[in-house]
Amino acid sequence: MTGAVGQIGSELTLALRERFGNENVVAAGHRTAPQPALRDSGPFETVDVTVREDVDRVLETYAIDTVYHLAAILSARGEENPGLAWRVNIDGLVNVLEASRERNVNQVCIPSSIAVFGPETPSDCAPQETILLPTTMYGVTKVAGELLGEYYVRRYGLDVRGLRYPGIISSETPPGGGTTDYAVDIFYQAIQTGRYTCFVGPETRLPMMYMPDCIKATIDLMEADRAQLVHHSNFNVGSMCFSAAELAEEIRKHIPDFVCEYEPDFRQAIADSWPCNVDDRAAREEWGWEPHYDLASMTADMIEQLSARLTRTDAAA
């Protein structure tokens, strides 16, 4: 698992360790120290995915048969440093695909994103097959990543699979550097201070998914019968879709004095370039995708999970 210290990687590693045994899932991170639960439950390696020798060393040492390649620079950070986004998201991906091909790895999971879409994509329900003209470097690297994945399937027979993740909401590891991060930050602030200043406007509506569904989608796709898959590295997966104002309103059902203000910054333009929902019929038909959480159940669970760890620190508490 590259990117194992990140928002999705940390929880996916623990889920896979539970499924396949702690010693059988190697967590690989780069700069950030691993969380105790991750560090103490199984092997951890420091890997810079842009360094081919790092990737080779871990595949060799542990005789890896499946790679989950979660390491990536997300959309907002990618706009601040497009060169870094290219190096990590493309050079890193090529290293992982080449090393996997040469070492006969069975399966590679390469996440894609709703960031592959752009202003020309139909916004209310982005089709599986549609115009992919992203305006961010992150989106450019994700479109190229999907195409590389398909290329390795066709040219080398490597079993590459991937989902176009929407914004992922979770209560464990916070996200970093993404445009959809507000949908997580808002919960921490609502619980700790009762106030949040949102960096996109109230009408901004994006596809989102709760972490348990994200883990389920990833494992279900990886375990799907290969013969049933028409697509490989680019599945749309829908779950929920709400505006920032609707999220704030749902949180107010649990925290009635919660105040949300809006000060859009450069991330507004990124959000505006993405669709608000996706058509995920291919995922439903080819491998039985079905989400469990909606806005109400996700919000209730987020508040329950975070309230057990966080306390209110403002004067009103």
CB of 166 to ligand SER, least distance (A): 7
Instruction: Give the active site residue among 68, 138, 165, 262.
Output: 138
CB of 290 to ligand SER, least distance (A): 21
Q: Which residues are near ligand SER by CB under 6 A? A: 74-75, 113-115, 138, 165, 167, 178-180
Strands 205-210 and 240-243: antiparallel
CB of 182 to ligand SER, least distance (A): 9
Active site residue 138: yes
Rounded to 5 degrees, φ, ψ at 67 are -115, 130
Nearer to ligand SER, 75 or 141 (CB): 75
Name residues whose C-beta falls within 8 Å of residue 268's C-beta, 6 or more positions apart in sequence. Answer: 199, 200, 201, 204
Nearer to ligand SER, 112 or 299 (CB): 112
Q: Which residue is nearest to ligand SER (CB)?
A: 178
Length in residues, the chain: 317
CB of 138 to ligand SER, least distance (A): 6
Neighbouring C-beta atoms of residue 164, cutoff 10 Å? 25
CB of 116 to ligand SER, least distance (A): 9
Nearer to ligand SER, 114 or 190 (CB): 114
Gap between the Cα atoms of 295 and 269, Å rounded: 24
Which residues are part of the catalytic machinery?
138
